[in-house]
Amino acid sequence: MMPTTPVVETDDRQLVQTIREGDADAFETLVRRKTTKVYALCYRIIGNAEDAKDISQLVFLKLWENLEKYDPAYAFDTWLYRMVTNVAIDFMRNKQSRDNAVNSTLRLVKTEADAEQGVVVQRKEVENVFNDVSSVLSPKQKTIFIMNQMEDLPSAEIAKILGCRESTVRNHLFNARKAMQAQLQKRYPEYAQLWRSR
Amino acid sequence: MMTCEIFRSTFHADTENAALLGHLRTCDRCLDFAANVDPDVMFRALGGEDLVPPGGVELFVDDVMRQVRVRGAEKVATIQRPVSWMRRLAIAATLATAVTSGSLVYRHNSAIPSSMMTSIKRAPIAAHQIALVTKPIVETYESQSATIMEVPNEPNDDVKIVMIFDENLPADL
């Protein structure tokens, strides 16, 4: 989860100011501080460790080149997250056009014993299921769903990050949930009963 | 410390309690329980914690900083060789002049009648012919500084070919 506490924000702003004054070491500090957060979001959106690493590096290079454009009136993390989502969504769009069948071969193997025991959700299995059913979402829908469900960001914050209205975010969330439900019903009926229509 | 008992007694749908969500992400049994209460939490299990890129944070940071330095160096190299607008203008003017001149010369050559072109082409040949005017035949030649060589001739040929190498050779020879 991307922290948005005032103390951290103040530190980030000071750090950015130091970088703008020509201190390259301060940029290294900023990269070190934000790496795990940026990489986590990239990984959840892209679903592949190596691609997520490359995209995260690209994000930091863009950050370096565009730091002058940052307006300290806004939270630094919001600005950073906007950069991450823009780069990741672009990557996903290109990837979708290159390979529409991404993730389509993933299948969850469940034994009868598992079924008898009830649905005991294993983390890796959930990850596989998510990668599979989320492949039908648009890059933007997937990004919004991940930010809301996995990064615990409220709709208002997501709207700020993406530069859209909160109602748009809620629409995307609703549509994403519907689309994933349909996929879950089709591919993983044992999970679909859990994820009832709300 | 959040225990499974506390989690199950306090968890409810749509909760945004960080501690509850944190426990949800570490305990599969409670995730199973929570998914029955609020199906949306199922994929929440994937979120929460920050992730470390392959190779570790330090390697990642080193890679980023290396690329930043490379880009910085490229930027400096570009800045160190700036081309002022005056210089750009001069280059553009030179190029324009060269192209225009080339074009005019080409058009001019195309407009010249073929007969004139022939005479122009012949002029250097005529000059060359003048330079190759035959010198008068020398019957005898004597000089202290000359080296005279006789070229062997055909037995029936009565003309003797002689080569004379002399620094003081008269201009008319």
Predicted local distance difference test score (pLDDT) of residue B118:
55
> A41 Cβ partners below 8 Å, 6+ apart?
A2, A81, A84, A85, A88, A146, A147, A151
pLDDT digits (tens, 9 = 90+) for A103-120: 433 333 334 444 444 445
> B141 Cβ partners below 8 Å, 6+ apart?
B148, B162, B164, B173
Nearest residue, CB atoms, B54 vs list A27, A53, A123: A53
Residues A114 and A188 in one domain: yes
Please provide the distance, in angstroms rounded to a whole number, between the alpha carbons at the two ends of chain A. 25
**Is residue A1 in some structural domain?**
no
Nearest residue, CB atoms, B47 vs list A121, A152, A194: A152
- Residues from chain B that touch A188, judged by Cβ atoms under 8 A, are none
Which stretches in chain B have pLDDT values below 50?
none
**Is residue B19 in some structural domain?**
yes
- Residues from chain A that touch B76, judged by Cβ atoms under 8 A, are none
Residues A99 and A110 in one domain: no
A196 contact B CB<8A: yes
> Which structural domain range is residue B129 located in?
100-149
pLDDT digits (tens, 9 = 90+) for A1-54: 554 554 454 588 888 988 888 888 889 999 999 999 999 999 988 888 999 999
Residues A119, B35: C-beta atoms closer than 8 Å: yes
Predicted local distance difference test score (pLDDT) of residue B33:
84
Other beta carbons within 10 angstroms of residue B167's beta carbon come to 8
Structural domains of chain A, count: 2
> B7 Cβ partners below 8 Å, 6+ apart?
B20, B23, B24, B27, B30, B33, B34
Predicted local distance difference test score (pLDDT) of residue A34:
93
Predicted local distance difference test score (pLDDT) of residue A85:
92
**Is residue B156 in some structural domain?**
no
Is ipTM over 0.90?
no
**Domain containing A169 — which CATH number?**
1.10.10.10
Percent of chain B with pLDDT over 90: 6
Nearest residue, CB atoms, A39 vs list B46, B53, B71: B53
**Is residue A170 in some structural domain?**
yes
Predicted local distance difference test score (pLDDT) of residue A23:
84
**Whether pLDDT at A159 is above 60:** yes
Structural domains of chain B, count: 2
Residues A70 and A26 in one domain: yes
pLDDT digits (tens, 9 = 90+) for A60-114: 999 999 988 888 888 899 999 999 999 999 998 887 666 654 443 333 333 444 4
Other beta carbons within 10 angstroms of residue B47's beta carbon come to 21
Length of chain B: 173
Residues A86 and A163 in one domain: no
Predicted local distance difference test score (pLDDT) of residue B83:
66
- Residues from chain B that touch A56, judged by Cβ atoms under 8 A, are 53, 60
pTM for the full model? 0.60
Predicted local distance difference test score (pLDDT) of residue A57:
94
Predicted local distance difference test score (pLDDT) of residue A114:
45
The two tokens of residue A82 are 């906007």
CA distance A73 to chain B (A): 26
Q: Residue B16 in 3-state DSSP? A: coil
Interface of B with A in 62-101 (CB under 8 A): 63-65, 67-68, 71-72
> Which structural domain range is residue A122 located in?
106-198
**Is residue B144 in some structural domain?**
yes
A50 contact B CB<8A: yes
Predicted local distance difference test score (pLDDT) of residue B163:
74
Predicted local distance difference test score (pLDDT) of residue A108:
38
The two tokens of residue B71 are 């880009």
- Greater confidence (B44 vs A156) lies with A156
- Greater confidence (A159 vs B78) lies with A159
Tell me how far the alpha carbon of residue A116 is from its chain's centroid.
Answer: 34
Mean pLDDT of chain B: 76
Nearest residue, CB atoms, B46 vs list A64, A127, A194: A127
Q: Are A134 and A189 in contact (CB under 8 A)?
A: no
